[in-house]
């Protein structure tokens, strides 16, 4: 039976993909929320942001709701239009725990990939 190891958690194949999917969905939702929040703080409508970025309002709406996975260049255009640092828009708060003192290669079972 094949098992994968992710952050010290052993899971059956297929379940790892589910964990990644959930993490990606949360990241997209968080990024979209920060974009919407920044836009609202500046009093911009979707249509106004669309004009500033050259990205359609429906596409921006999908990004803000976490239903579209935008390219990095798209996020940069949005950040520039909002006059916000790109790092602020894409900040990943899910890894706020302190890094461990272990080696970066510890904790990963890469046997299947060697």
Number of domains in the chain: 1
Q: 0.85 exceeded by the pTM? A: no
Residue 103 forms part of a structural domain: no
Look-up: residue for tokens 């916000």? 84
| Residue 20: CATH number of its domain | 1.10.260.40
Reduce the DSSP state of residue 98 to 3 states and report it: coil
Question: Residue 30 belongs to what domain range?
Answer: 10-91
In a domain, 106, yes or no: no
Q: What whole-number distance in Å separates Cα of residue 89 and Cα of residue 85?
A: 7
pLDDT digits (tens, 9 = 90+) for 37-64: 999 999 999 999 999 999 999 999 999 9
Is residue 29 situated within a structural domain? yes
Tokens representing residue 87 in the block: 């790092």
């Amino acid at each position: 039976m094949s098992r994968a190891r992710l952050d010290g958690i052993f899971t059956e194949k297929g379940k790892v993909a589910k964990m990644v999917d959930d993490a990606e969905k949360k990241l997209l939702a968080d990024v979209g929320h920060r974009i919407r929040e920044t836009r609202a703080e500046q009093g911009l409508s979707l249509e106004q942001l669309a004009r500033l970025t050259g990205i359609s309002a429906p596409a921006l709406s999908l990004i803000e709701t976490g239903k579209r996975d935008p390219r990095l260049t798209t996020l940069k255009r949005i950040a520039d239009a909002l006059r916000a640092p790109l790092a602020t828009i894409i900040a990943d708060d899910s890894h706020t725990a302190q890094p461990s003192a272990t080696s970066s290669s510890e904790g990963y079972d890469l046997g299947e990939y060697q």
